[in-house]
């Protein structure tokens, strides 16, 4: 099912794709939150293909998938026709504007109230920016040891590095308690965290790593966490 959940300032529809039983736990993933952040959106295309295949193992996950392939259409370079390195500006960060919401921000906040997602994955990445930052993971709730270790294993499996500069005292290297970030209350993340787990997997531009590894890394982390939430409930 595809619904339009808002319109950008330039009049582009913001589309939400939903699959699965309506009464299953809701999960929300959204791509291209900032300019040029195409890793998540590309992964969502893979997710869409999997969901369209009736024999795919993904159907064993009892959740209702909700995803927005492109949240911030207005700020994509060259109207989204090409992919280029861009340095985003503050007024383009729709996730951080709940005090002066852009239409994209309002669409997310309304969706949060409507769905009450048990898991939200804002698909930010560091691929678009000109600096090379190793992987790091802002997260809304403390994750158990074995999950943190499995996430580290996924990152290494795909040939990526974990940030040596970011470390949570309990969760370890690469993990970052979202609520330690300045002004987090101005973000949509703080609102999503009231409903469920929020996890971000920032992946870098790394010339020697195939782009597919970046998408696979984000999706593998999402599947791991969704399965963990389901086992808990
Ligand atoms: Zn971003």
Residue extents of the structural domains in the chain: 2-232
Q: What's the pLDDT tens digit per position in 42-55?
A: 999 999 999 999 99
Å from CA of 125 to ligand 1 middle = 6
Per-residue confidence (pLDDT) for residue 60, from 0 to 100: 92
Cα 208 to middle of ligand 1, angstroms: 22
Half-sphere exposure of 37 (CA within 13 A, CB side): 29
User: In this structure, what token pair is assigned to residue 171?
Assistant: 């969760």
| Cβ neighbours for 76, distance < 8 A, ≥ 6 positions apart | 32, 35, 36, 70
What are the phi and psi torsion angles at 39 (to 5°)? -65, -50
- Say how many Å lie between the CA of residue 117 and the centre of ligand 1: 20
How many Å apart are CA 24 and CA 63, to the nearest integer? 5
Give the distance (Å) from ligand 1 centre to CA of residue 95: 9
Rounded distance from Cα 185 to ligand 1 centre (Å): 17
**pLDDT score for 129:** 76
Count of C-beta atoms within a 10 Å radius of residue 144: 12
| Secondary structure in 3-state letters for 135-192 | EEEEECCCCCHHHHHHHHHHHHHCCCCECCCCEECCCEECEEEHHHCCCHHHCHHHHH
- Residues 2-232: name the CATH superfamily: Zn peptidases (3.40.630.10)
| Bridge partners for 168 per DSSP | 172
Q: Give 231 Cα–ligand 1 centroid separation in angstroms.
A: 30
Q: What is the pLDDT of residue 232?
A: 78
Best CA proximity match to 92, nearest among 104, 107, 84: 104
201-221 confidence digits (pLDDT tens): 999 987 777 889 999 999 999
| Cα(139) to centroid(ligand 1), Å | 14
Return residues with CB closer than 5 A to ligand 1 (ion).
Answer: 34, 124
Question: How many CB atoms sit inside 10 A of residue 212's CB?
Answer: 12
Angle ∠(200,71,1) on CA atoms, nearest 5? 100
**Cα–Cα nearest to 230, from 44, 64, 13:** 64
Report mean pLDDT in 10-residue bins for the chain, 233 residues: 97 97 96 94 96 94 96 91 82 95 98 98 89 92 97 96 96 97 96 98 85 95 95 75
* pLDDT score recorded for residue 228: 94
C-alpha 60 to ligand 1 mean position (Å): 31
Ligand 1 center to residue 142 CA distance, Å?
Answer: 22
The CA 56 to ligand 1 mean position distance, Å, reads 30
pLDDT for 83 equals 79
d(CA 129, ligand 1 centre) in Å: 9
């Amino acid at each position: 099912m595809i619904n339009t959940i808002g319109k950008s300032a330039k009049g582009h529809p913001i589309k939400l794709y939903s699959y699965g039983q309506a009464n299953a736990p809701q999960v929300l993933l959204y791509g291209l939150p900032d300019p040029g952040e195409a890793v998540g959106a590309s992964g969502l295309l893979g997710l869409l293909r999997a969901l369209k295949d009736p024999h795919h193992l993904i159907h064993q996950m009892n959740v209702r998938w909700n995803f927005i392939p492109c949240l911030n259409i207005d700020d994509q370079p060259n109207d989204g026709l090409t992919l280029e390195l861009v340095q985003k500006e503050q007024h383009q960060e729709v996730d951080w504007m709940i005090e002066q919401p852009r239409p994209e921000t309002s669409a997310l906040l309304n969706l949060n109230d409507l769905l009450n997602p048990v898991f939200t994955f804002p698909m930010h990445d560091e691929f678009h920016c000109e600096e090379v930052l190793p992987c790091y993971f802002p997260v809304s709730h403390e994750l158990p040891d074995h999950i943190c270790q499995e996430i580290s294993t996924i990152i290494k499996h795909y040939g990526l590095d974990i940030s040596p500069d970011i470390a949570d005292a309990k969760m370890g290297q690469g993990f970052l308690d979202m609520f330690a970030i300045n002004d987090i209350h101005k973000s949509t993340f703080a609102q999503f965290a009231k409903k469920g787990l929020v996890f971000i997997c920032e992946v870098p531009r790394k010339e020697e790593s195939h782009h597919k590894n970046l998408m696979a890394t984000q999706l593998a982390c999402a599947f791991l966490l969704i399965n963990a939430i389901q086992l808990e409930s």
